[in-house]
Chains A and B, each alone.
Chain A
Amino acid sequence: MKIVYSWLKEFLPDAPGSARLEELLAGLGLETESITGLTAPHSRIVFARVLAADNLEGKEVRRLVLDIGREVQVVSGAPNARAGMGVALALPGAVLPDGTELGVRKIAGLESYGMALSAKELGLGEYAGGLLEFAPEALPPGTPLAEVWGPDEVIEIEITPNRPDWLSVYGVARDLAALGLSLVRPHPKPKTTPLALPFGVWIEDTEGCDRFTLSYARGVRVGPSPLLVQRRLYAAGMRPISNVVDATNYAMLELGNPMHAYDAAFIGEGLVVRRARPGEKLVTLDGVERTLDERDLLIAVKEGSQTRPAGLAGVMGGAEDEIREGTTEVALEVAHFDPVRVRRTAKRQGLKTEASYRFERGVDPEGPPRAADRFMELLQSWSEGVEVAQERLDLNHTRPPQPISFRPSYASRLVGMDYPEATQREVLERLGCSVQPSVQSGVWEVTPPSHRVDLGLEEDLIEEIARIVGYDQIPTTLPSFFPHPDNLGVDAPYEATERLKQVMAGLGFQEVLNYAWSSPQECELMRAPAPSVYMQNPQTPERTALRTALYPGLLKNLQTALAQGEEGPFLLFEVGNVFNQAETPRLSALLLGDAVPGLWQKGLGGGFFALKGLLEAAARNLGSRVRVEQEVAPYLHPGISGAVYWNDQKAGHIGALHPAIAAALELPTVFLLELALPLRKGPGTFTDIAKYPASMRDLAVVAPERTPYAEIERIIRSSAGERLEKLEIFDVYRGKPLREGEKSLAFHLTFRHPERTLTDLETDAFMQSIITALEQQGFAIRR
């Protein structure tokens, strides 16, 4: 919302300068987005009256004869230039806001004494499609425009959706006045005449429209608005159209009530407010034909037993009944509509107007008569001969604001500072609330003013007190209490994840965080599950769904890193959520290259067993056990792929990226893992430090090439008995004297008894039991 400083000052004569004003506004909750200076036009830009506008044969431009106290000739290409209008003329020597300096120029063979200006050239607005038009008698010809357009400022403030009462110059002034500035209250008083009203008003839907006023004026002459008005409208971001339309906008910007002026000659017997019929059509002012349904509220013109749609209530008027050049009679609608209905209609129609913006937030239902008076007053002051009807149709079904039970003690308790009751009462009354005692002691009945539609709860009033006294007055305290026991331990999942991230980072992995988005195409390419969550409004074709796995993101990170020539090795990890049949957390990690790269020495730690080793190190760090069993995951190389068991619970997969995916992504051999979180916790138990010596044996098992290590390990562990303390593989041998297709796995086995030294005989018996078990499964022992 753009507030013109001089306009605000009309209501707040004591308003401080804009810098201090910005601070006061911030204290009220109004954030200033910008303060822009409006400079006075250059002294060589003057008011001129067009005496003649002659077409030049075969030329696009016209020759204008202008009166600036003397006659001058200007050549102009503006389509709206015509005799009798007032314009702004930049004389030779004038400098335009964009820096252009004017002189006498030859255009189309004619000498042009300066240039007639559009709003854009004057630096007022964006409109450059024609000359800015003034009334012919607006100023004595030749008067510098700077005399009426002095320096000014535009303060752009951000209005929060709860405060529609701020959507006007007076509304902002009124709130500032609560800080103690004196306020000039508007009391518009048009001169009225007893005239018979030529129309009636009927409201068929009083829920959609609880107030409707229709006022009447005649003797209107449509023409340009005064200079000051035009400049203020431009500064507020609106384009002047004509005095009648400008008066509706000016009164709305000033007082906050949207309004609509009809050519009274076209509204027949009067207006009906009713629901639209399904499929009913209306061409709105913007020229768009709109198809409506029964949820939309219409203003319709009554023509006998029929009604014809004339406007979308609270959103936009119709094209048929708008003010035109020849309009002499005006019917002015100032009404109040249901905010939710307006919002829904505006949303359905994709129409956001100054009116709908205000109505959907909440307009003062008591405002229409005053706003209508202001419109009429403006119209009368801008042109002569306007007769305003004394009578006004005012169908009022509004309910007065309800009182709120308010405890001053609660205000102090909620904010945490002591507000004296007198202060609280004063603040509420300054804001326009009525404060009455109630039957209960310590409770007041506070009735907010009609323009404060946001005040409905005790807490709303407390904010008012805190805001006007000042948020900077609130002290700082730290509460101390014991949380309710059902809050204990809620950190555990977060802590586990953080610990896991720390361990991964400590092992040398760099964390990445990828977007949650993916697409069915990407999932297919990466052999990840097809998405189950899709975007209704995807931003890009790559972001049509949510990811079903983390590793595709890591692979894309790797692609980028390689393309950018980033330095390897690449150890990446991510902890994040994936979206399959539900949202679940995952860990994924990737390794490319030797974990310890060669510099002047040989590198080490590459390949599958490096990634697996890092996983095992992570598990040890987390007090957990991990094992991998042969199992093929779709995205992994079928020969280098395994299921990861974390503390004996299956958590995911580890392996080499499937060569087909690697080829499609033009990646070298990459090793990766992906685990579902949370990981099962380790036992976390304590075993006393060994007091008796261990007994060690070696064992070499001959097995077919296909037999996984894990199977042999399982047989040994399950047959060794509980004294087996440790099992380590120290060699995998292939070759003579073994047969083709055989391998030998050699183990160090450590046995120990916690309470005594094991005898050789006992250890021999454990070994025998292992050997028997292995042999029963068909494995030979190498001796």
Chain B
Amino acid sequence: METTLNRNETIVYQRPASFRPAPTHYCPGCTHGIAHRLLAEVVDEMGIRENTIGVASVGCSVFTYHYFNFDFTQAPHGRAPAMATGIKRTLPERFVLTYQGDGDLASIGMGEITGAAARGENITVIFINNAIYGMTGGQMAPTTLPGQKTSSSQDGRDVKTAGYPIRTSEMLATLDGAAYVVRRSLHSPKEIRRAKKAVRMAFETQARGLGFSMVELLSSCPTNWGYEANDALTWIEENMVPYYPLGDFKVHPALADVKI
């Protein structure tokens, strides 16, 4: 962005060039905005804005392409990793990413994400896990915690009939094609800084052609959880983190020397 500086003024913080100056449609307190910002900062810092193609998914982030200032496509529900595969195989020199929620990636799209990870598809996946279907109004997701109330599990998720949440990162990390699979959270400034480093590392994985990279980000959904923004962040820390431990589940040995 163009900014007019007065003498003695220095820019210390501004909107990344990869992030369009557009208001988002996300609810107040939702952490999608933070995840977007981290992604845009990483793309800027690596100088790859004109060399990056994104694939949006279905869910709250369906309009992601309005917010990023690089080429974007938008996939059918769950199919973003397949679309990203088509783009990456056709244009291997481009950076290709998908931005998917938990309903999209871990429910309807489990086939496509598993196939992409198993093939070692050299793409980067940003996986937003907020334990609920946001866009359709707060239904039970594959990631909804046992006992968690949603509009389609009104007495709380009953594991006897609705089964158990899926720990996607742990599952995908078992695949040899996965090069970098980690879980981070967006519930505090410290965790957000760690999350950004992970997003950078995922792109460094792709830059080195090491294979599939994914950063799962524990995220809030104040609207559908029915919490104030801050309480929602506390809910992530107190309820989601114990079920979805933060950590590195797969880190390719070639990344050992990469310092961020």
A binds B: no
